[in-house]
Structure 1
């Protein structure tokens, strides 16, 4: 039997159900990029508040693939969030998503909904690459194929910036106040960055439109945090056993969840603070803390762990040398770049290490390693720039960059092919092929990718010598031995 509203009417022991009548809720939010993270994070917060605030339900939209819609439509938008810890798996049915639209086949329906006055917030988790921007500068990539297409076909957009601007244009033309645009992606200063990207796209369409977007549209910043591994067939089978029904796409996650939000919603917002979110005037310090400590550590563990043969992050944390490396990375190199008055960074570090150790959360190193060209600038390179400017060493951070360079050669330490998933994969593989077995040539070729490294790091002697030294060791000694030597 498939998960559905009918299943909700049946008694279930130990299964948490929506605490409201789904027939009485209406949408106030459209979410672009309705993947696993959104369904484990924001949709859960909204589910918690719909009992008393029924006009803030979510309609999701898939911009690229219809798989989420295909999974959730037969289930009337319902799905399971299964929280895993050492004590077991704890299932909960989420009902906050009323519908999922496929932008490829239902574009006009999506645009019409975005232009409807009842929609007051448009949130996004389209990943770093979904903003069609230059990760090194945070500016719109005006030569991106999707941007070129959307500027030529403004009423039939395919990109997130194009979709937002077309919907905002329709609202402006009809005298409807703009919705707030809330990015929940791991971008540095994500609110300001998305404002810059969307305003620039609007300006390219029409000068007055660009000015209106920049002045009238709110772009609240956020910091989001919850570890969400990919769902496996074994996960689906386990959830079916727990809930007594088939769920085509349950979400597996950890107990921890955090959401910090800039309180900037001119057309109103749900009381997120009543369900555990933190509303603040300035999100950027929290965002930087999370990007550098959690995400920077995660990426370093992903590349170094994968190269050493570790499939899951919890496996990496079973290696004492890797634990020493990540503890030192956060303590010695990341935390000194953060200025968080009233926040105990040491406690946050220890909490992260405990979360990484969660044996029930099978978070693949390969999954975290995806799209590294988009992630590296904010997860590692920003911290590196700060430390270089202060004449401070970058040994551990540099090893993370070197491990990424070794990973994107597409061949692991056993000579097996690596499935490198990245927008720049073909270019990076070509650079690796030209470099052959020469680590210095590999460094020179990859650091020339200015969309990742900008124009400053290639000529920095400390950066070049540190990363090249580690890269040579990774080729000669392997990842596990390189880590062991660094922490000894």
Structure 2
């Protein structure tokens, strides 16, 4: 069988690079690169992408073997109808591994055609890393790498960029900009560079929404046979997507996604969109990864077919998350029903292991704000969210659990490992402000309830704990 490459697909259109993309994972390829392809097909953008590998281990080499071609497989329901389509994406021109060729990475700054920078380095990626230096090749953190690139751009006398991060943290554009400015100050890059950063670059916060479960490994060979070519970089996704970008109106002309018929909103107020999506879609996802894996459940679809866990997630959404949000209830319940339909997508095998990546930072961003708001309003701890936290501590404490493993940054795993060796594991972890942004032991009653959840999961199993929550047997008044 032929391998997907330019040798056999010579007529696929290619355009000059107009965007740099930090991240080579399934999400960006099925979200950003797919949308750029849709604009190109309508003659609205005529631009390609250069991918920068954001971690020492990545997929740029694999993509290079296929001449940066890959297939996006869309499967799901749209307006009540089943959708099953596939498309070879040719919007990625090349890729660079800065860990192997840092000079090539810095040379990206010289290309005047490049106007956009996109990123998805997970919630943990937009973070300051102490010790990063301009002389590092490359620096450790994504913001430091970006600062080095922007400095090269400034020295070359070129225009700045529209910088649009896709990481699911609040105010991701503003947060990224603040870290870049911090590096610029620490590295003493000069006032002129800071002025250029502020005046010539537009950091846009954004919210992304498309479920991308990744590579369909169990069906891959059947799909190759059906399509007539082998592709080891297939990215499967649902048809639904929305991209909300907080930025200037002229962005709609520079990046004509909406003109291409895509569900993209450019707004000056992102927060209502973000709260609805992050807490009602991503929050339950993180709960699933913290609990369902401990019961041997492997996918979102499998969970939605499980009476115990479906009831648990349904009640988390309607009884803990929705009452904590400052949006019209009717709008939230309608959105929640839509999300559950997406969770039940019969074509999706969204693996909980993939959702579990960096669960600590995800819990902080997706569930902790809801937990605090719920306590503020109802003066008791939300049992389902707190049980998810108990499940997280069970997984991260042992780190070799037979059913679920911790998948996170090395320093995070080391923090848990060291605390687990002590006699005060739970207290030490909940009090660690570097993990959660605050001392969680100061939340009255949370330490006790997390302790109870951990004991129940260890002694009776995650399913029994979920069943007890479903029967309202885990509630604690403050």
TM-score by length of structure 2 reads 0.88
Which of 422, 439, 447 is residue 434 of structure 1 equivalent to? 422
Residues 221 and 284, structure 1, Cα contact 8 Å, conserved in 2: no
Residues 180 and 265, structure 1, Cα contact 8 Å, conserved in 2: no
Per-residue deviation, residues 290-317 of structure 1 (Å, max 9, x unmatched):
2111111001011210111111121111
CA RMSD in angstroms, aligned pairs only: 2.5
Q: Distance in 2 between matches of 1:197 and 1:336?
A: 34
Residues 218 and 266, structure 1, Cα contact 8 Å, conserved in 2: no
Residue number in structure 1 paired with 2:448: 465
Residue number in structure 2 paired with 1:50: 40
- The DSSP-based 3-state class of the residue aligned with 1:390 is helix
- Residue 198, structure 1, aligned to residue 180, structure 2: yes
Residues 36 and 251, structure 1, Cα contact 8 Å, conserved in 2: yes
Aligned ranges 1:52-451 → 2 under 5 Å: 52-65=43-56, 67-85=58-76, 89-131=84-126, 133=127, 140-141=128-129, 143=130, 148-151=131-134, 153=135, 156-206=138-188, 208=191, 209-210=193-194, 212-214=196-198, 216-264=200-248, 269-274=254-259, 275-276=261-262, 277-340=264-327, 344-393=331-380, 394-410=382-398, 416=402, 418-423=404-409, 424-435=412-423, 441-451=424-434
Residues 249 and 266, structure 2, Cα contact 8 Å, conserved in 1: no
Deviation for aligned residue 1:81: 0.8
**Which deviates more from structure 2 when the two are superposed, residues 463-472 or residues 32-41?**
463-472
- Residues 431 and 158 of structure 1, relative CA distance in 2, 3 Å threshold: closer
Q: Distance in 2 between matches of 1:250 and 1:286?
A: 29
TM-score by length of structure 1 reads 0.86
Residue number in structure 2 paired with 1:15: none
Residues 74 and 237, structure 2, Cα contact 8 Å, conserved in 1: yes
Q: Distance in 2 between matches of 1:410 and 1:318?
A: 29
- The DSSP-based 3-state class of the residue aligned with 1:273 is coil
Q: Distance in 1 between matches of 2:144 and 2:350?
A: 33
Residue number in structure 2 paired with 1:482: 465
- Residues 57 and 265 of structure 1, relative CA distance in 2, 3 Å threshold: farther
Per-residue deviation, residues 312-336 of structure 1 (Å, max 9, x unmatched):
1211111222222212212222223
Residues 213 and 351, structure 2, Cα contact 8 Å, conserved in 1: yes
Deviation for aligned residue 1:217: 2.5
Deviation for aligned residue 1:481: 1.0
Deviation for aligned residue 1:224: 0.7
Q: Distance in 1 between matches of 2:289 and 2:356?
A: 6
- The DSSP-based 3-state class of the residue aligned with 1:344 is helix
What 5-or-longer segments of structure 1 have no aligned partner? 10-19, 134-139, 436-440
Q: Distance in 2 between matches of 1:479 and 1:400?
A: 10
Which of 7, 22, 26 is residue 32 of structure 1 equivalent to? 22
Residues 224 and 258, structure 1, Cα contact 8 Å, conserved in 2: yes
Q: Distance in 1 between matches of 2:355 and 2:137?
A: 35
Per-residue deviation, residues 241-283 of structure 1 (Å, max 9, x unmatched):
2210111211122222221112338786221112311222222
Q: Distance in 1 between matches of 2:56 and 2:121?
A: 12
Q: Distance in 2 between matches of 1:156 and 1:397?
A: 38
Residue number in structure 1 paired with 2:476: none
Q: Distance in 2 between matches of 1:343 and 1:249?
A: 40
Deviation for aligned residue 1:67: 4.5
Deviation for aligned residue 1:478: 1.5
Q: Distance in 1 between matches of 2:229 and 2:58?
A: 20
- Residues 380 and 238 of structure 1, relative CA distance in 2, 3 Å threshold: same
